[in-house]
Amino acid sequence: MRLGVVGMMPPDFRAINSEHLAGVRALGLSGVGFHAPGRKLFDVTSQECRQVRGVFASAGMELVQFGIGYGECLFAPDPAARAEIVGVIGRGIEVAAELGAQVCLIRTGSLNLKGSYAPVAENHTRQSWQRLIETLRRIADKAEQVGQTVVIETHLLTILDSPEANRDAIAEVGSARLRVVMDYVNHFPSVQHVFHSTDRLNHIFDLMGPIAGVGHCKDIRFGDGLVLHIDEAIPGEGLLDLPTALRRWQALYPNGYMLLEHLPNEQYPQAAANTLRIAAEAGVEVH
Protein backbone atom coordinates (compact mmCIF):
# COMPACT_ATOMS: atom_id res chain seq x y z
CA MET A 1 0.00 0.00 0.00
CA ARG A 2 0.96 3.65 -0.15
CA LEU A 3 0.66 6.33 2.51
CA GLY A 4 0.02 10.05 2.23
CA VAL A 5 -1.43 13.02 4.06
CA VAL A 6 -4.28 15.50 3.67
CA GLY A 7 -2.64 18.60 5.05
CA MET A 8 0.76 20.27 5.38
CA MET A 9 -0.01 22.35 2.28
CA PRO A 10 -0.71 26.10 1.89
CA PRO A 11 -4.36 27.22 1.89
CA ASP A 12 -4.24 27.93 -1.87
CA PHE A 13 -3.02 24.84 -3.70
CA ARG A 14 -1.60 27.02 -6.46
CA ALA A 15 1.12 28.09 -3.98
CA ILE A 16 2.43 24.54 -3.40
CA ASN A 17 6.16 24.31 -4.00
CA SER A 18 8.94 21.75 -3.74
CA GLU A 19 9.65 22.60 -0.09
CA HIS A 20 6.09 21.75 0.94
CA LEU A 21 6.34 18.38 -0.77
CA ALA A 22 9.81 17.70 0.62
CA GLY A 23 8.37 18.11 4.12
CA VAL A 24 5.85 15.36 3.38
CA ARG A 25 8.47 13.13 1.80
CA ALA A 26 10.66 13.48 4.92
CA LEU A 27 7.93 11.71 6.92
CA GLY A 28 8.16 8.64 4.70
CA LEU A 29 5.02 9.56 2.75
CA SER A 30 4.61 9.69 -1.01
CA GLY A 31 1.25 11.36 -1.60
CA VAL A 32 -0.74 14.48 -0.74
CA GLY A 33 -4.36 15.52 -0.62
CA PHE A 34 -5.91 18.96 -0.21
CA HIS A 35 -9.22 20.80 -0.50
CA ALA A 36 -10.30 23.94 -2.33
CA PRO A 37 -13.46 26.10 -2.12
CA GLY A 38 -15.74 24.95 -4.90
CA ARG A 39 -16.91 28.30 -6.22
CA LYS A 40 -13.38 29.68 -6.41
CA LEU A 41 -12.41 26.91 -8.80
CA PHE A 42 -14.00 28.81 -11.68
CA ASP A 43 -11.05 31.22 -11.36
CA VAL A 44 -8.41 28.48 -11.61
CA THR A 45 -6.70 28.33 -15.00
CA SER A 46 -5.34 25.38 -16.97
CA GLN A 47 -1.89 26.96 -16.80
CA GLU A 48 -2.04 27.05 -13.00
CA CYS A 49 -3.07 23.40 -12.94
CA ARG A 50 -0.17 22.46 -15.21
CA GLN A 51 2.22 24.36 -12.96
CA VAL A 52 1.04 22.50 -9.84
CA ARG A 53 1.15 19.21 -11.70
CA GLY A 54 4.72 19.94 -12.70
CA VAL A 55 5.74 20.65 -9.10
CA PHE A 56 4.41 17.25 -8.04
CA ALA A 57 6.10 15.50 -10.94
CA SER A 58 9.47 17.14 -10.24
CA ALA A 59 9.25 16.11 -6.58
CA GLY A 60 8.29 12.52 -7.42
CA MET A 61 5.12 12.92 -5.32
CA GLU A 62 1.53 12.02 -6.13
CA LEU A 63 -1.58 14.17 -5.86
CA VAL A 64 -3.92 11.60 -4.40
CA GLN A 65 -7.08 13.44 -3.36
CA PHE A 66 -8.55 16.76 -4.46
CA GLY A 67 -11.51 17.77 -2.30
CA ILE A 68 -14.23 20.20 -3.43
CA GLY A 69 -15.45 22.47 -0.65
CA TYR A 70 -19.15 23.35 -0.45
CA GLY A 71 -21.97 23.32 2.08
CA GLU A 72 -24.96 22.46 -0.11
CA CYS A 73 -26.97 19.25 0.04
CA LEU A 74 -26.94 16.93 -2.97
CA PHE A 75 -30.52 15.86 -2.29
CA ALA A 76 -32.13 19.22 -1.51
CA PRO A 77 -35.81 19.35 -2.55
CA ASP A 78 -35.21 22.40 -4.79
CA PRO A 79 -34.14 21.23 -8.28
CA ALA A 80 -32.46 24.58 -8.97
CA ALA A 81 -30.31 24.25 -5.86
CA ARG A 82 -29.25 20.76 -6.88
CA ALA A 83 -28.46 21.93 -10.40
CA GLU A 84 -26.28 24.73 -9.06
CA ILE A 85 -24.17 22.49 -6.84
CA VAL A 86 -23.84 19.93 -9.64
CA GLY A 87 -22.33 22.73 -11.71
CA VAL A 88 -19.87 23.61 -8.95
CA ILE A 89 -18.89 19.96 -8.54
CA GLY A 90 -18.56 19.64 -12.29
CA ARG A 91 -16.02 22.44 -12.33
CA GLY A 92 -14.18 20.76 -9.45
CA ILE A 93 -14.04 17.51 -11.42
CA GLU A 94 -12.51 19.39 -14.35
CA VAL A 95 -9.84 20.94 -12.11
CA ALA A 96 -9.10 17.59 -10.46
CA ALA A 97 -8.54 16.05 -13.89
CA GLU A 98 -6.26 18.90 -14.98
CA LEU A 99 -4.26 18.54 -11.78
CA GLY A 100 -3.89 14.80 -12.32
CA ALA A 101 -5.54 13.92 -9.00
CA GLN A 102 -6.21 10.24 -8.47
CA VAL A 103 -9.59 10.97 -6.90
CA CYS A 104 -11.88 13.97 -6.49
CA LEU A 105 -13.71 14.04 -3.16
CA ILE A 106 -17.31 15.16 -2.60
CA ARG A 107 -19.81 14.85 0.27
CA THR A 108 -23.57 14.31 0.28
CA GLY A 109 -24.48 17.16 2.62
CA SER A 110 -27.53 17.25 4.86
CA LEU A 111 -31.00 18.76 4.99
CA ASN A 112 -30.01 20.04 8.43
CA LEU A 113 -28.85 23.61 7.83
CA LYS A 114 -26.33 23.35 10.66
CA GLY A 115 -23.87 21.53 8.41
CA SER A 116 -23.05 18.72 6.02
CA TYR A 117 -22.62 16.22 8.86
CA ALA A 118 -25.51 17.40 11.02
CA PRO A 119 -28.20 14.70 11.33
CA VAL A 120 -31.90 15.13 10.67
CA ALA A 121 -34.66 12.59 10.11
CA GLU A 122 -35.53 13.98 6.68
CA ASN A 123 -32.15 12.80 5.37
CA HIS A 124 -33.43 9.23 5.52
CA THR A 125 -36.69 9.34 3.57
CA ARG A 126 -37.17 7.46 0.32
CA GLN A 127 -37.58 10.77 -1.50
CA SER A 128 -34.21 12.00 -0.22
CA TRP A 129 -32.57 8.78 -1.36
CA GLN A 130 -34.06 9.04 -4.84
CA ARG A 131 -32.92 12.66 -5.20
CA LEU A 132 -29.42 11.68 -4.05
CA ILE A 133 -29.14 8.90 -6.62
CA GLU A 134 -30.33 11.25 -9.37
CA THR A 135 -27.73 13.85 -8.42
CA LEU A 136 -24.94 11.30 -8.11
CA ARG A 137 -25.80 9.99 -11.56
CA ARG A 138 -25.35 13.49 -13.00
CA ILE A 139 -22.03 13.83 -11.19
CA ALA A 140 -20.96 10.42 -12.48
CA ASP A 141 -21.82 11.50 -16.04
CA LYS A 142 -19.41 14.41 -15.71
CA ALA A 143 -16.74 12.19 -14.14
CA GLU A 144 -17.05 9.73 -17.01
CA GLN A 145 -16.88 12.56 -19.54
CA VAL A 146 -13.51 13.81 -18.29
CA GLY A 147 -12.13 10.48 -17.07
CA GLN A 148 -11.91 11.45 -13.39
CA THR A 149 -12.71 9.16 -10.46
CA VAL A 150 -14.94 10.75 -7.80
CA VAL A 151 -15.16 9.46 -4.21
CA ILE A 152 -17.92 10.18 -1.68
CA GLU A 153 -17.00 10.88 1.94
CA THR A 154 -19.66 9.04 3.97
CA HIS A 155 -20.48 9.02 7.68
CA LEU A 156 -22.98 7.43 10.05
CA LEU A 157 -24.56 10.89 10.58
CA THR A 158 -25.30 11.32 6.86
CA ILE A 159 -27.71 9.79 4.37
CA LEU A 160 -25.00 7.22 3.55
CA ASP A 161 -24.96 6.10 7.16
CA SER A 162 -23.74 2.51 6.92
CA PRO A 163 -21.60 0.19 4.81
CA GLU A 164 -24.85 -1.22 3.43
CA ALA A 165 -26.05 2.21 2.31
CA ASN A 166 -22.69 2.88 0.66
CA ARG A 167 -22.87 -0.40 -1.24
CA ASP A 168 -26.45 0.21 -2.37
CA ALA A 169 -25.85 3.78 -3.56
CA ILE A 170 -22.85 2.86 -5.69
CA ALA A 171 -24.75 -0.09 -7.16
CA GLU A 172 -27.77 2.06 -8.03
CA VAL A 173 -25.69 4.74 -9.76
CA GLY A 174 -23.73 2.07 -11.58
CA SER A 175 -20.65 4.04 -12.66
CA ALA A 176 -17.06 2.81 -12.49
CA ARG A 177 -16.06 6.45 -11.95
CA LEU A 178 -18.01 6.81 -8.69
CA ARG A 179 -16.55 5.26 -5.53
CA VAL A 180 -16.55 5.85 -1.77
CA VAL A 181 -13.85 6.76 0.72
CA MET A 182 -12.72 3.91 2.96
CA ASP A 183 -12.96 6.12 6.04
CA TYR A 184 -13.67 3.24 8.39
CA VAL A 185 -13.78 5.32 11.58
CA ASN A 186 -16.92 7.01 10.24
CA HIS A 187 -18.90 3.80 10.56
CA PHE A 188 -18.49 2.80 14.21
CA PRO A 189 -21.93 3.50 15.73
CA SER A 190 -21.56 2.04 19.22
CA VAL A 191 -19.28 1.29 22.14
CA GLN A 192 -19.46 -2.42 21.45
CA HIS A 193 -18.43 -1.94 17.82
CA VAL A 194 -15.30 -0.16 19.05
CA PHE A 195 -14.55 -2.79 21.69
CA HIS A 196 -14.91 -5.48 19.00
CA SER A 197 -13.26 -3.47 16.26
CA THR A 198 -11.83 -6.45 14.35
CA ASP A 199 -15.31 -7.74 13.57
CA ARG A 200 -16.58 -4.27 12.66
CA LEU A 201 -13.58 -3.50 10.46
CA ASN A 202 -13.98 -6.75 8.58
CA HIS A 203 -17.67 -5.99 8.00
CA ILE A 204 -16.85 -2.49 6.74
CA PHE A 205 -14.14 -3.78 4.43
CA ASP A 206 -16.34 -6.62 3.16
CA LEU A 207 -18.98 -4.16 1.94
CA MET A 208 -17.08 -0.93 1.25
CA GLY A 209 -13.69 -2.31 0.27
CA PRO A 210 -14.66 -3.34 -3.28
CA ILE A 211 -16.15 0.10 -3.99
CA ALA A 212 -13.45 2.26 -2.35
CA GLY A 213 -11.27 4.69 -4.27
CA VAL A 214 -9.02 5.91 -1.46
CA GLY A 215 -8.61 5.21 2.26
CA HIS A 216 -8.31 7.47 5.32
CA CYS A 217 -6.13 6.16 8.12
CA LYS A 218 -7.21 7.12 11.63
CA ASP A 219 -7.89 5.59 15.01
CA ILE A 220 -10.74 5.93 17.54
CA ARG A 221 -10.89 6.92 21.18
CA PHE A 222 -13.78 7.68 23.52
CA GLY A 223 -14.27 11.29 24.53
CA ASP A 224 -15.24 12.43 28.00
CA GLY A 225 -18.80 13.01 29.13
CA LEU A 226 -21.94 11.14 30.09
CA VAL A 227 -23.09 10.69 26.50
CA LEU A 228 -21.29 8.74 23.80
CA HIS A 229 -18.39 10.54 22.11
CA ILE A 230 -16.53 8.46 19.54
CA ASP A 231 -13.63 10.68 18.54
CA GLU A 232 -10.85 10.36 16.01
CA ALA A 233 -7.34 9.69 17.28
CA ILE A 234 -3.82 9.52 15.90
CA PRO A 235 -3.21 6.06 14.42
CA GLY A 236 -1.83 3.78 17.09
CA GLU A 237 -3.10 5.92 19.97
CA GLY A 238 -6.66 4.63 20.02
CA LEU A 239 -8.63 1.41 20.37
CA LEU A 240 -8.92 0.04 16.83
CA ASP A 241 -7.31 -3.06 15.38
CA LEU A 242 -5.29 -1.09 12.84
CA PRO A 243 -3.20 -4.08 11.70
CA THR A 244 -6.42 -5.64 10.39
CA ALA A 245 -7.42 -2.42 8.64
CA LEU A 246 -4.03 -2.10 6.94
CA ARG A 247 -3.92 -5.75 5.95
CA ARG A 248 -7.41 -5.56 4.44
CA TRP A 249 -6.49 -2.45 2.48
CA GLN A 250 -3.24 -4.00 1.26
CA ALA A 251 -5.08 -7.12 0.07
CA LEU A 252 -7.53 -5.02 -1.94
CA TYR A 253 -5.25 -2.24 -3.19
CA PRO A 254 -1.53 -3.02 -2.89
CA ASN A 255 -0.78 0.25 -4.72
CA GLY A 256 -3.69 2.18 -3.22
CA TYR A 257 -3.35 5.13 -0.85
CA MET A 258 -4.42 5.56 2.73
CA LEU A 259 -4.24 9.18 3.84
CA LEU A 260 -3.61 10.63 7.29
CA GLU A 261 -5.92 13.56 8.00
CA HIS A 262 -7.69 15.84 10.49
CA LEU A 263 -4.57 16.62 12.52
CA PRO A 264 -2.59 19.80 13.14
CA ASN A 265 0.59 19.81 11.10
CA GLU A 266 2.79 19.25 14.13
CA GLN A 267 1.11 15.89 14.81
CA TYR A 268 1.62 14.38 11.37
CA PRO A 269 5.20 13.21 12.09
CA GLN A 270 3.91 11.08 14.97
CA ALA A 271 0.94 9.86 12.94
CA ALA A 272 3.21 8.85 10.06
CA ALA A 273 5.73 7.14 12.33
CA ASN A 274 3.01 5.21 14.16
CA THR A 275 1.34 4.08 10.95
CA LEU A 276 4.59 2.98 9.33
CA ARG A 277 5.48 1.01 12.48
CA ILE A 278 2.07 -0.66 12.68
CA ALA A 279 2.23 -1.55 8.98
CA ALA A 280 5.68 -3.10 9.36
CA GLU A 281 4.58 -5.13 12.39
CA ALA A 282 1.52 -6.28 10.44
CA GLY A 283 3.61 -7.39 7.48
CA VAL A 284 2.21 -4.66 5.22
CA GLU A 285 4.70 -3.08 2.84
CA VAL A 286 4.37 0.69 2.46
CA HIS A 287 6.10 1.88 -0.69
What CA–CA distance (Å, rounded) separates 2 from 260?
11
pLDDT at 36 exceeding the cut of 90: yes
pLDDT at 30: 98
Candidate from 10-19, 148-157, 172-181, 218-227 with smallest mean pLDDT: 218-227
pLDDT of 183 strictly over 90:
yes
Separation of alpha carbons 254 and 22, rounded Å: 24
- Assess whether pLDDT exceeds 90 at residue 121: yes
Domains and CATH numbers, the chain: 2-281 (3.20.20.150)
**pLDDT cut 70: percent of the chain above it:** 100
Mean pLDDT of 88-116: 97
241 pLDDT tier (thresholds 50, 70, 90): very high
Q: 260: buried, middle or exposed (CB in 10 Å: 19+, 13-18, 0-12)? A: buried
- pLDDT at residue 116 tops 90: yes
Q: How far apart are CA 51 and CA 55, in angstroms?
A: 6
Distance CA 118, CA 113 (A): 8
The model's pTM is 0.96
Q: What is the pLDDT of residue 225?
A: 85
Mean pLDDT of 231-258: 98
Q: What is the mean pLDDT of residues 88-102?
A: 98
Radius of gyration of the chain (CA): 18
pLDDT at 226 over 90: no
**pLDDT of the residue at 227:** 86
Mean pLDDT of the chain: 97
Residue 99 has pLDDT above 90, yes or no: yes
| Helix runs in the chain, H state only | 18-25, 46-59, 79-99, 126-146, 163-173, 191-195, 197-208, 242-252, 268-281
pLDDT at 277 over 90: yes
In the beta sheet, which residues pair with residue 68? Answer: 36
- CA angle centred on 227, ends 221 and 233, rounded to 5°: 15
